Structure 1
Amino acid sequence: MPVPAQAPSTAPSTPTGADHTAVVEMLRYSPVADDLAERFAAAGHRLYLVGGSVRDALLGRLSPDLDFTTDARPEEIQALVSGWAEAVWDTGIAFGTVGAVRRGVTCEITTFRADAYDGVSRNPVVAFGDSVEGDLVRRDFTANAMALSLPDRTFVDPYGGLAALARGVLDTPTDPETSFGDDPLRLLRGARFVSQLGFEVAPRVRVAMEAMAPQLGRITAERVQAELSKLLLGAHPRRGIELMVDTGLADVVLPEVPAMRLEIDEHAQHKDVYEHSLTVMEQAIGRETDGPDLVLRLAALLHDIGKPATRKVEPGTRVSFHHHEVVGAKMTRKRLRELRYPKQVVEDVAQLVFLHLRFHGYGKGEWTDSAVRRYVTDAGPLLDRLHKLVRSDSTTRNKRRAAALQRSYDDLEERIARIAQEEDLARVRPDLDGNAIMELLGIPPGPLVGRAWRHLKEVRLERGPLDDEEARAELRRWAADEGIGAEGIGAPGDEGEPEH
């Protein structure tokens, strides 16, 4: 049975002195809010700062972007901001929203909404309302259902948003079944706010999430991806992922993640691969140096998703996951493509998943310089992220083993730095380009040039840089072995990528 909606109070509540100060402080940094309010009031309209702008101010998170709601209709909003704002846009006017920029502050002003939903798509039948209370009740969570009347600065909180903020709880203004039924994306948005704000969901909200999780299938992949990315980039992504898994939302969005709960980690460090992956993600986040990194966080979360499909019980009850990095990379590409992630994000995350296990062949430094060059070349611009991912993948509770793994990786990084000083590892290319190959072998452009180019690149990786005479001698030896004479006739090969 749905839990009854929280009844709105009969009068606007007043925040505590500290809370009120937070909102006023934000307005001090954004004097355009009062300026805009005076403009609306002079035209006989009400204007309210609303939603995330109020929530973030109360949490001490000031932002130059302000959200407003008003009884003015979209055409009236356009007229009021025209000539006042430096820029105005109306891409959201069909939904009652007009955007404007004034003195570097972005303002989005939306007419009171009183939408209805058809229960099939997430798109509302847009209807405009006449009261701020009616507008606030249709919002996703009570923490986003507060407003500040301007210019008088009366705090409006009919659904207990301030109390919810104080408790760190996400609840819905109306019963959650109605709220989520109107827009199932709010199911995932709840997990996103848990990640961003560190809140817990109210018990009735969790119950509704569990019951209604399959309805996320009504939402387009692009919208789901946007919410998932915000969740992963939040301050507490583990909490958000755990909520998704526990309520069944992940079964719709990222089914490979809950599937890992069934697989025991081969080192028995954690109760399952799922817990291990969450720990790796947290450790990778701790190594970020330039702010939240979506590619790194996705790779850390998904690096072991190939384990369920490759699990095998070996003699002596040991569990193995041979080639799980290969399978996992394929699964990663498939899932991220279905979520409509940009191609570069898909390829970068998949490549990190593919490479994350390679270091474990390094041992105590047994790799040749050639192997080190291949490691760097295959990682390419992802090398720094690969360093962070591999270091984070050590979750053993054995302090001696953990220290040994970190020392081993320290040694690898030192070797990379040393070789990089001697060679240009960022641009490992053959010592002869395509033009030199064609001139030396007397051949025209074509697949044969690509074959020769790839051979010289392999030699470069194995032996390091060659001087010009050595490179030419090596090319002549290869041509002779391949039966290629001066006329350039040899066995057909696939297309190459010679540098001209």
Structure 2
Amino acid sequence: MQSVASALARLGDLAASPTVSRLAAAFAAAGHELALVGGPVRDSFLNRPVHDLDFTTDATPDRILHLVKPLADAHWDIGRAFGTIGALVGGETVEITTYRADSYDGTTRKPDVVFGTSLEEDLMRRDFTVNALALRLPAVTLVDPSGGIDDLLGKVLRTPSTPAVSFGDDPLRMLRGARFTSQLGFTLDVETADAMEAMRESIAIISAERIGDEIAKLLRSDNPRAGIEVLMESGLAEIVLPEIPALRLEIDEHHHHKDVYQHTLTVLEQAIGYEKSRGNLGGPGHAPDLIVRLAALLHDIGKPATRKLEPGGVVSFYHHDVVGSKLAKKRLRALRYDNETINAVAKLIELHLRFFGYTEGAWTDSAVRRYVRDAGDQLERLHILTRADVTTRNRRKADRLGFAYDDLEQRIAALAEKEQMDAVRPDLDGEQIMAILGVRPGREVGEAYRFLLEQRLDDGPLGVPEATRRLQSWWAERS
């Protein structure tokens, strides 16, 4: 948090920027109000990077579009029904929204869209005071009707109106509260936290897409643990991610195992650390990887269903990787994530235990090839998840596992360099198989292809002559 004077100076520079000043002049000339609002103003006080520019105005969506068109390189009105017009102005993305005063009716999943009449009214209907700040343009006047500056200084999340009214207007704000604790490092004030717990059931009227989007934003933050803990403490997690509270398994005096919930949060934190340090998912400065973070959060959700108390105080979770993969698919589909994300997360969870067999005995080259083949394009993410899954406090054990995975990665790299393992295929393609066997396209070609792939995985590149010999031998025995 920088000083108020420094923040105001930064806001002044922002207001004087070409994009903002052009928009401010256009709206003022047309007799309309315009204010920079929300995140850009907040982040100027927090000395955080300002990316997209959000504005609010008394102009209707039609008027906004009329005023923006001459200035924009491109524009879109996908949010027009909600009063929002987007545009690309001077290379910067902007969104301009008519003053709003809408709310949910408590039963349906869509809010009643009502346009407001003043900037102050618009700000008082926003989610938290730290986001209810605006900079009037072109006058460059700070507007703070709810004490947002004081809450920024105190690092507190508080609603402009009472929490009951605010969360009643839009229950998604409860999830946004959890997300902002992670993004901003702020804490909820007592009244707001109490209201989240009391009103948690109302989140059910929010669409699955919006809930999934908020969870994704939370996980992409630098400290998702804080937001997840808010979801747990408020009881919201039991509604939006019930698999996470289920990880708080009971531990009796005779059977002992690690706290799966705390282990999961540690794995998530460690995965983020590896994601940043390895830099193989997009290079330095890449966007946070949602797939890695979802896989880390959900990797052990199969444990409650597979927990078994064994003799001697041992607790087992056989096949929790397979069960967890299926549960993750089900949950992510319910949250309307895309198929690419769902399938990648499910694959990582299903494979996350595979490495631990490596420490029990040396893998053959064939086993290493199969590890790479099964991971496919998720191999780097699997490296991250597997390393992050080591949370033991036993330094000797942790070092042993770390050295073993170092060895596995070195073997993968050596084989990849030697055999082009990034595209493991049989030495013969479908056309060659049909020509050698004298068959037409059909089931036999697929079976022959799979046979040759297994040969390739077992023994490495064979070459066309040897692959042909083995194929003919297999075909003769099969016939």
**TM, length-normalised to structure 1:** 0.89
Match of 1:198 in 2: 185
Task: Select 1:16's aligned residue among 4, 26, 36.
Answer: 4
Match of 1:62 in 2: 49
Q: 1:263 to 1:323 in 2, by over 3 A?
A: farther
Match of 1:39 in 2: 26
Question: Is the 2:256–2:315 Cα contact (8 Å) retained in structure 1?
Answer: no
Give, as a single letter, the amino acid of the residue that structure 2 aligns with 1:65: D
Question: Is the 2:4–2:45 Cα contact (8 Å) retained in structure 1?
Answer: no
Secondary structure of 1:287's counterpart equals helix
Are 2:23 and 1:27 equivalent residues in the alignment? Answer: no
State the 1:455 CA deviation.
Answer: 1.1
Match of 1:145 in 2: 132
Task: Select 1:413's aligned residue among 380, 397, 409.
Answer: 409
Question: Is the 1:191–1:240 Cα contact (8 Å) retained in structure 2?
Answer: yes
Question: Is the 1:438–1:449 Cα contact (8 Å) retained in structure 2?
Answer: yes
In the alignment, the residues of structure 2 paired with residue 196 and residue 96 of structure 1 have an alpha-carbon distance, to the nearest angstrom, of 27
Match of 2:367 in 1: 371
Match of 1:361 in 2: 357
Match of 2:234 in 1: 247
Coordinate RMSD, CA, aligned = 2.0
Secondary structure of 2:248's counterpart equals helix
Are 2:438 and 1:459 equivalent residues in the alignment? Answer: no
Task: Select 2:201's aligned residue among 211, 214, 219.
Answer: 214
Percent of aligned pairs with the same amino acid: 57
Are 2:113 and 1:117 equivalent residues in the alignment? Answer: no
In the alignment, the residues of structure 1 paired with residue 42 and residue 98 of structure 2 have an alpha-carbon distance, to the nearest angstrom, of 20
In the alignment, the residues of structure 1 paired with residue 433 and residue 30 of structure 2 have an alpha-carbon distance, to the nearest angstrom, of 77
**TM, length-normalised to structure 2:** 0.93
State the 1:99 CA deviation.
Answer: 2.5
Match of 2:337 in 1: 341
Match of 1:76 in 2: 63
Question: Is the 1:64–1:104 Cα contact (8 Å) retained in structure 2?
Answer: no
Query: Which deviates more, 104-113 or 324-333?
Result: 104-113
Secondary structure of 2:97's counterpart equals strand
In the alignment, the residues of structure 2 paired with residue 215 and residue 380 of structure 1 have an alpha-carbon distance, to the nearest angstrom, of 41
Match of 2:437 in 1: 441
Show CA shifts across 1:15-62 (max 9, x none).
83123123223334x332223222222333222111112111211223
Q: 1:304 to 1:267 in 2, by over 3 A?
A: farther
State the 1:64 CA deviation.
Answer: 4.2
In the alignment, the residues of structure 1 paired with residue 73 and residue 436 of structure 2 have an alpha-carbon distance, to the nearest angstrom, of 64
Match of 1:304 in 2: 300
1:253-292 equivalences in 2 (<5 Å): 253-262=240-249, 270=258, 272-288=259-275, 289=279, 290=282, 291=286, 292=288
Match of 1:87 in 2: 74
Match of 1:101 in 2: 88
State the 1:137 CA deviation.
Answer: 0.8
Give, as a single letter, the amino acid of the residue that structure 2 aligns with 1:472: T
Secondary structure of 2:340's counterpart equals helix
Show CA shifts across 1:92-118 (max 9, x none).
232222233321122222222222432
Q: 1:408 to 1:45 in 2, by over 3 A?
A: same
Question: Is the 1:269–1:395 Cα contact (8 Å) retained in structure 2?
Answer: no
Q: 1:474 to 1:145 in 2, by over 3 A?
A: same
Are 2:219 and 1:232 equivalent residues in the alignment? Answer: yes
Show CA shifts across 1:415-446 (max 9, x none).
11121222121122222222222222222221
Question: Is the 2:256–2:313 Cα contact (8 Å) retained in structure 1?
Answer: no
In the alignment, the residues of structure 1 paired with residue 324 and residue 50 of structure 2 have an alpha-carbon distance, to the nearest angstrom, of 39
* Number of corresponding residues: 467
Task: Select 1:189's aligned residue among 160, 176, 179.
Answer: 176
Question: Is the 1:365–1:408 Cα contact (8 Å) retained in structure 2?
Answer: no
Secondary structure of 2:393's counterpart equals coil
Q: 1:267 to 1:458 in 2, by over 3 A?
A: farther
Question: Is the 1:296–1:349 Cα contact (8 Å) retained in structure 2?
Answer: yes
Secondary structure of 1:444's counterpart equals coil
State the 1:354 CA deviation.
Answer: 0.4
State the 1:226 CA deviation.
Answer: 1.0
Question: Is the 1:423–1:465 Cα contact (8 Å) retained in structure 2?
Answer: yes
Query: Which deviates more, 380-389 or 102-111?
Result: 102-111
In the alignment, the residues of structure 2 paired with residue 88 and residue 460 of structure 1 have an alpha-carbon distance, to the nearest angstrom, of 53
Secondary structure of 1:118's counterpart equals coil
In the alignment, the residues of structure 2 paired with residue 191 and residue 467 of structure 1 have an alpha-carbon distance, to the nearest angstrom, of 57
State the 1:223 CA deviation.
Answer: 1.1
| Larger helix proportion of the pair | 2
Q: 1:442 to 1:82 in 2, by over 3 A?
A: closer
In the alignment, the residues of structure 2 paired with residue 64 and residue 135 of structure 1 have an alpha-carbon distance, to the nearest angstrom, of 22
Superposition misfits of 4+ residues, deviation over 6 angstroms:
265-269
Give, as a single letter, the amino acid of the residue that structure 1 aligns with 2:424: V
Show CA shifts across 1:269-291 (max 9, x none).
74x10100110010010011243
In the alignment, the residues of structure 1 paired with residue 83 and residue 465 of structure 2 have an alpha-carbon distance, to the nearest angstrom, of 72
In the alignment, the residues of structure 2 paired with residue 78 and residue 433 of structure 1 have an alpha-carbon distance, to the nearest angstrom, of 56
State the 1:398 CA deviation.
Answer: 0.7
1:485-496 equivalences in 2 (<5 Å): none
Show CA shifts across 1:228-248 (max 9, x none).
111110121111111111211
Match of 2:149 in 1: 162
Give, as a single letter, the amino acid of the residue that structure 2 aligns with 1:143: V
In the alignment, the residues of structure 2 paired with residue 383 and residue 267 of structure 1 have an alpha-carbon distance, to the nearest angstrom, of 35
Give, as a single letter, the amino acid of the residue that structure 2 aligns with 1:191: A
Give, as a single letter, the amino acid of the residue that structure 2 aligns with 1:141: F
In the alignment, the residues of structure 1 paired with residue 416 and residue 386 of structure 2 have an alpha-carbon distance, to the nearest angstrom, of 20
In the alignment, the residues of structure 2 paired with residue 74 and residue 430 of structure 1 have an alpha-carbon distance, to the nearest angstrom, of 59
Secondary structure of 2:55's counterpart equals strand
Show CA shifts across 1:311-341 (max 9, x none).
1111101111111101111111111111111
State the 1:390 CA deviation.
Answer: 0.6
